[in-house]
Amino acid sequence: MKIALAQLNYHIGNFEKNISKILEKIEEAKNDSVDLIIFSEMSVCGYPPQDLLEKKSFIDQCEEAIEDIVSNTKNIAVIIGSPTVNNNPKGKKLYNSALFIHDGEIKFIQHKTLLPTYDIFDEYRYFEPNDKFSVVEFKGKKIAITICEDLWDEQPVNNAFARNQLYLVSPMEKLIEYKPDFVINIAASPFSYTKIWGRKNIFIRNAKKYKLPIFNVNQVGAQTELIFDGGSMVINSDGTIADELKLFTEDYKVYKLDDIKKKKLKKHLLEDPDVIAKIHDALILGVRDYFKKMNLTKATLGLSGGIDSAVTLVIASQALGHENIRVLLLPSKFSSDHSIADAIKLADNLGVRYDIINIQEVVNSFNESLQSIFKGLKQDITEENIQARARGTILMALSNKLGHILLNTSNKSESAVGYSTLYGDMAGGISVLGDVYKTDVYKLAQHINRDKEIIPLHSIQKPPSAELRPDQKDSDSLPDYEILDKILFEYIELQKQCEEITNDGWEKSLVERIINLVDSNEYKRYQAPPIIRISSKAFGAGRRIPLVAKFN
C-alpha cells in the first residue's frame, strides 16, 4: 500500500481555497499511484473555526465541500477532517470527524473522542465526544483512525497541580481490540517552543506501546495568533522515527507501507537544539499568514533604535518584503542621537522606507492643554505616557491614511509586568513579540545577525531604555531581564506559586513584587492586540484570568 501525507496550510472558512488545495494533492497522489492520501484535522474548513461552527451556512458549506471531494476519489482513498452533524437529538450538534472516502463514497467516519478544553482549546463548546469505536478495512489492512488528542490521552505536564491523564477513556485501548495493522492520526497541533519534543514523544510512546506504525499529518500555517508548525511524521512500530515532513511550510510525501519498517531517520528535524531559530521561523510564518489571510499587504511600526522594534522590523521585512513596509522614527527631546542613527542604519540595511517626525511639539501641546488641570502636581509617569500615546496616534494616522497595518513591538517581559502604555506602545493590529521574553529577543537579534550585521550592534549592546525621561533605563524600574525572565517563566509557563519560586533560590520580596506586577496588569493585557503564540502559555486566549480577582 502506498500512503501519501499531505501537510497543507488552510484558511479558516475559505472553502474554495481549501478544497482547491486538497483536490490538487489528490490528483498528484493519483499520478504517484497512491492508494491512500491523508489530510489534517478540520482540513475542509480550517482549524480552529470557533463560533463559525454555530452558523448553519458554515456547516452547509462543509458538506458541499465534502461532496466535491467525494466526487474526485475514483481509484484512490482519502482521509479528510471536517465537522459533521450529530443526528442524535441529544448532545452537541456536531462531531469533529475524520472521513474515509474511497471510489466516490464515504466508507467510514471516525468521530473525535477526546475534546480538549485547556489552554487555547475549547472543543467541547462545539462538539459531542465520540463513544463508538471501530477500524476501517482497506486493501487487506485494518486501519485505526485517530484525531489529534485521541492519541494523546496521556500528556507531559510542567505544573505540579496539573494531571497528565485528563480523560477517563483511551481511544487506542478501544481500537487495539480490533487488531489494527497501523494507526493514522490527523491533527491540528500548534507550535510551542517549550514542547518541541513533547508531541514527538507521544507518538514514539504509543508506537512502542501498541507495536504499531503511526502516520501523523499535522496542519501547517498560522491562524491569527496560533502557529501550526507541520512536522508531520511516520513512526515505526518499534518507536523509531521513519521520516518527518518539513516545519513551517507545506509538504507532501509518499511512503510504501512495507518499506516503513526498514526506514530510520538519521537526523530528526526537531532535534535541532536551536530553539531560537524555530521561534524566528514561527514568527515569520505568523506575520506572513496574518497579512495574507486578512488580504493585507503593507505594514508600519515605530522604529526607535531599540532591540524590540529592530527585531520586529526584520521579521516583518522577511515575512512581507521590505518594499511593503514603511516605518516612522518618532524622536522626542529625550531620544538619543545614537538611537536615531541606529534606527536609520537598520532601515537602510533592510531597504525599508522611513520618515522622521519629531513628536516634541505634539507633546508640548498636550502638556500645555493639561496645564490648568495638572497645576501644582509633580511630573510623573503621566507625562511619559503622553509621549507614548503621541507616537501611537501618529502611527495609527499613517495606518488609517495609507492602509499600513501597525505592528505592535512589545515583548512578553514588558507586557507581563505592565511596562507598556495603553493606547500608546500597546497599539497595533497584531503583536509580533508579545510571547517572546526580552532575553529571547536579544537571542533573536543575534540569530538574525548570524551571517552579517543587519541589526546595528549598538542596538543589541546598549542598555534597554524607553527614553521617556533623561538617562532612563529599564533597570530603573525593573530587575535585570536575566533575572526577571526566569521568575516570569516559572510563574507564567510553569504556573508556580510564590513559595515554590522562592524555594528555587529567589529572594521572596523580589518574587512577590514581580508576581504583584503580573497580576495587577491583567487589565492592560486584556486590551492588547492578538499575540503570535510561540510558548505553551501565551497571554490571550490560552491564559484566562479574571480582571476583578483578588487572589494571592
Coil, strand or helix at 488: helix
Decide: 432 and 287 in contact? Cβ < 8 Å.
yes
Q: Please name which of 374, 367, 378 lies closest in space to residue 333, comparing C-alpha atoms.
A: 367
CA 249 to centroid of chain Cα atoms: 14
Q: Tell me how far apart the alpha carbons of residues 531 and 345 are, in angstroms, rounded to a whole number.
A: 28
Coil, strand or helix at 502: helix
> Cell 499587504 appears where?
297
Q: Tell me how far apart the alpha carbons of residues 39 and 217 are, in angstroms, rounded to a whole number.
A: 6
| Choice among 41, 149, 244, 414 that is catalytic | 41
CA 68 to centroid of chain Cα atoms: 31
Exposed (0-12), middle (13-18) or buried (19+): which is 320, by Cβ within 10 Å?
A: buried
Q: What nine digits make up the cell of 128? A: 459531542
Decide: 259 and 234 in contact? Cβ < 8 Å.
no
Which one-letter amino acid corresponds to residue 403? G
| Cβ-based neighbours of 16, under 8 Å, separated by 6 or more | none
State the first-to-last Cα distance of the chain, in angstroms, to the nearest integer: 59
Q: Is 112 a catalytic residue?
A: yes
Q: What nine digits make up the cell of 468? A: 521617556
Q: Please name which of 100, 73, 8 lies closest in space to residue 45, comparing C-alpha atoms.
A: 8
Q: What nine digits make up the cell of 100? A: 474515509
> Cell 518499534 appears where?
238
467: alpha, beta or left? (left if phi > 0; alpha if psi -120 to 50)? left
Tell me the DSSP string of 110-146: EE------STT--GGGTBPPP-----EEETTEEEEEE
Decide: 324 and 309 in contact? Cβ < 8 Å.
no
| Choice among 62, 123, 128, 148 that is catalytic | 148
- Rg, Å, the chain Cα set: 26
> Cell 469533529 appears where?
96
Q: Tell me how far apart the alpha carbons of residues 354 and 106 are, in angstroms, rounded to a whole number.
A: 56
| Choice among 2, 21, 112, 438 that is catalytic | 112
Strand partners for 326: 353
- Length of the chain counted residue by residue: 552
Q: What nine digits make up the cell of 361? A: 511639539
Tell me how crowded residue 537 is: count the other CB atoms within 10 A of its CB: 21
| Cβ-based neighbours of 60, under 8 Å, separated by 6 or more | none
DSSP 475: G
Query: Phi and psi of 543, rounded to 5°?
Result: -140, 100
Q: Tell me how far apart the alpha carbons of residues 86 and 127 are, in angstroms, rounded to a whole number.
A: 9
Tell me how crowded residue 44 is: count the other CB atoms within 10 A of its CB: 27
Which one-letter amino acid corresponds to residue 59? I
Residues with a catalytic annotation lie at 41, 112, 148
